[in-house]
Amino acid sequence: MRWFDQHPGDDVVIENLSDRRTGFQIAGPGARDLLATLTRADVSAEAFRFMDVKRMSIGMCRAIVQRVSYTGDLGYEIYVDAMETRTLWQALWDKGQAFGIKPFGMRAMMSLRLDRFFGSWMREFSPDYTPAETGLDRFIRFSKPVDFIGRQAAEAARATPPERRLTHFIIEADDADVVGYEPIWLDGAVAGFCTSGGYSHWTGQSVAIGFLPTDRIVDGQSVEIEILGEMRPARVVTAPLWDDRRMRA
C-alpha cells in the first residue's frame, strides 16, 4: 500500500479492501467437481484455466475465484465479503461431504508447497532479491509498450544472468529442519544460505530452499547445510517432489 501511495496515477483511486474480503482455498483432485456443484459458472478446464480469476456466485455468496493452489495440486481460492464467510464455509462443508472434504491449515499448506518447490513471500520473494534470482522474471512483460517503474533495472538484470539463484535441497536432517538463513557449505566454504524449509510429509524428507551460485546448481550436487550448529549432508534437487498435471490441466 505504501508503494501505491508513493506512485499515484492521475485517474486512479487506490482502496485497501483487505479487511473487507476473506475466504477459503479448496485443493485436491475433487476441487473442480466440488466447485461445479456450487456454481452455475463454467469451471471446466477449458473455460477456467490455471491462474484465471472470475467473479461468480458460490452457493448464496458473490465471490471472486482464482484458479490457483499453493499446495501444488488442483485448487481454487474463493474470496467473499467478510460478512459472508460463514455462509461460504457452510456451503463448501455441506457439498464437500460427498468428496471427503477435510479442513487443513497454514502449516499443512506450508509443507505441501515445499513438495512443489513454491516460494513464499518474505522468504523466497523479497525486495532484497531480484526477479531473475528467484524466477519471478517470467512474470515480467518486457514487451509492454510503456516505461514502467523498474523496467531499466529489470532489463539490465535480464541481460546479465544472476550469479546466484534459488534452488532446492533434500537434507539428511536429524531432529530439526531448516527455518531460514542457515549457511549452505560447498567445498569447505559458505556458498549460500537457506531462505526457508521444513518437513515434507508427502515424501518423508526434510526439504530446504536457498541460494547457491548459478554455476553450481546441478541435480545431485552435494552440499552441507548447518542446522543448529550441526553440519547436515544435503543434495540439490531440480525436479519438484510433487508435480501432478491436475494443477494446470
Number of domains comprising the chain? 2
100 and 137 assigned to the same domain: no
**Where does residue 51 rank: exposed (0-12), middle (13-18), buried (19+ CB within 10 A)?**
exposed
- Quick one: pLDDT at residue 230? 96
Residues 6+ apart with CB under 8 A from 156: none
136 and 81 assigned to the same domain: no
- Quick one: pLDDT at residue 68? 95
As a three-state string, the secondary structure of 78-130 is EEEEHHHHHHHHHHHHHHHHHHCCCCCCHHHHHHHHHHCCCCCECCCECCCCC
Query: Taking the chain (249 residues) in consecutive chunks of 10 residues, what is each chunk's mean pLDDT?
Result: 84 88 96 98 97 97 96 96 97 97 94 94 92 92 90 89 96 96 97 97 96 97 97 97 88
**Is 165 a domain residue?**
yes
Among 104, 119, 141, identify where a domain stops.
Answer: 104
153 and 77 assigned to the same domain: no
Place of cell 452457493: 59
230 and 150 assigned to the same domain: yes
**Is 117 a domain residue?**
no
**Is 126 a domain residue?**
no
94 and 190 assigned to the same domain: no
Residue of 164, 131, 134, 167 lying closest to 239 (CA atoms): 167
**DSSP bridge pairs for 43:** none
85 and 179 assigned to the same domain: no
Domain extent at residue 184:
131-239
Question: What CATH number corresponds to the domain at position 209?
Answer: 2.40.30.110
Complete DSSP assignment for 131-190? HHHHTGGGG--TT-SS--TTHHHHHHHHHS--SEEEEEEEE--SS----S--EEEETTEE
Question: What CATH number corresponds to the domain at position 43?
Answer: 3.30.1360.120
- Quick one: pLDDT at residue 158? 86
Among 63, 89, 104, identify where a domain stops.
Answer: 104
**Is 17 a domain residue?**
yes
**Is 66 a domain residue?**
yes
